[in-house]
């Protein structure tokens, strides 16, 4: 399978590239600058990416990260740019999402971000990612999938090779924790790239 990872030299992007390549997929990394560990690297800002650049990839993974407060709206803007160029196409768009928008009640009226223990410093990022998901849900002419990690998303966590799937609600592991490593998240994302079980849906993942 030919896979493009946009934001391929970030921490999560690099792990997605490595996971896909370890399974024999042909991976191209799109980066704004520098190199990636992919089979091939293309240096191009996401807003300059056109359909011709990605038409040959069955799966495009959006692993872009924007952390500065003034850049947070770019989460939604860059995602909508990719949706616009993938309108009515067969290519699939997989999105690295956040946990703040996961629901904590069966009625789906309260989200993780609404909890009293949610760190204030992460609220602007979680709100930007949540808004991007809201906008994505309105898109019905792109084969998109949005994968939310657990609440405790560990960049340097262990690769256990296992995970537990969840849906729209915050899911806990066997120890009553909501935690996942970047490496195990990458396994779940590449599994979805291969299996296409959640087209037009958001799902989530937690450690076992």
Tens of pLDDT along 140-186? Answer: 999 999 999 999 999 999 999 999 999 999 999 999 999 999 999 99
Q: So what's the pLDDT on residue 67? A: 76
For the chain, the structural domain boundaries read 2-206
Q: Which residue's structure tokens are 């979680």?
A: 126
Distances (CA, A) of 166 to 80, 129, 181: 25, 18, 15
The predicted model gives 103-117 an average pLDDT of: 94
Q: So what's the pLDDT on residue 71? A: 84
- Under DSSP, is residue 26 helix (H, G, I), strand (E, B) or coil? strand
Question: Looking at per-residue confidence, does 82 or 70 come out higher?
Answer: 82
- Give the sign of the dihedral formed by CA 58, CA 86, CA 167, CA 120: positive
Tens of pLDDT along 13-64? Answer: 999 999 999 999 999 999 999 999 999 999 999 999 999 999 999 999 999 9
CA atoms within 13 A on the CB side of 17: 24
Q: Is the model's pTM score more than 0.85?
A: yes
CA atoms within 13 A on the CB side of 103: 12
Edge-to-edge strand order for the sheet containing 59-62?
40-43, 26-31, 2-6, 59-62, 92-96, 143-148, 201-206, 164-166
Q: Alpha-carbon distance 113 to 182, whole Å?
A: 20
Q: Alpha-carbon distance 139 to 84, whole Å?
A: 9
CA atoms within 13 A on the CB side of 152: 10
Best CA proximity match to 130, nearest among 115, 112, 142, 117? 112
Q: So what's the pLDDT on residue 86? A: 98
Third-level CATH fold of 2-206: Rossmann fold (3.40.50)
């Amino acid at each position: 399978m030919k896979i493009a990872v946009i934001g391929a030299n970030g921490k999560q992007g690099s792990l997605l590239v490595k996971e896909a390549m370890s399974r024999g997929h042909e991976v191209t990394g799109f980066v704004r600058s520098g190199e990636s560990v992919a089979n091939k690297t293309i240096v191009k800002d996401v807003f300059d990416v056109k359909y011709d650049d990605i038409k040959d990839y069955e799966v495009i993974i959006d692993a872009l990260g924007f952390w500065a407060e003034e850049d947070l709206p770019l989460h939604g803007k860059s995602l909508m740019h990719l949706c616009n160029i993938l309108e009515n196409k067969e290519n699939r768009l997989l999105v690295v999402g956040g946990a703040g928008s996961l629901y904590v009640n069966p009625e789906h009226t309260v989200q993780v971000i609404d909890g009293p223990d949610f760190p204030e410093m992460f609220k602007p990022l979680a709100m930007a990612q949540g808004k991007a998901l809201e906008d994505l849900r309105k898109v019905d002419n792109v084969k998109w999938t949005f994968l939310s990690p657990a609440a405790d998303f560990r960049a340097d966590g262990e690769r256990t090779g296992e995970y537990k799937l969840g849906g729209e609600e915050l899911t806990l592991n066997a120890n009553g924790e909501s935690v996942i490593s970047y490496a195990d998240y990458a396994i779940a994302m590449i599994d979805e790239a291969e299996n296409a079980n959640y087209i037009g849906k958001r799902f989530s993942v937690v450690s076992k």
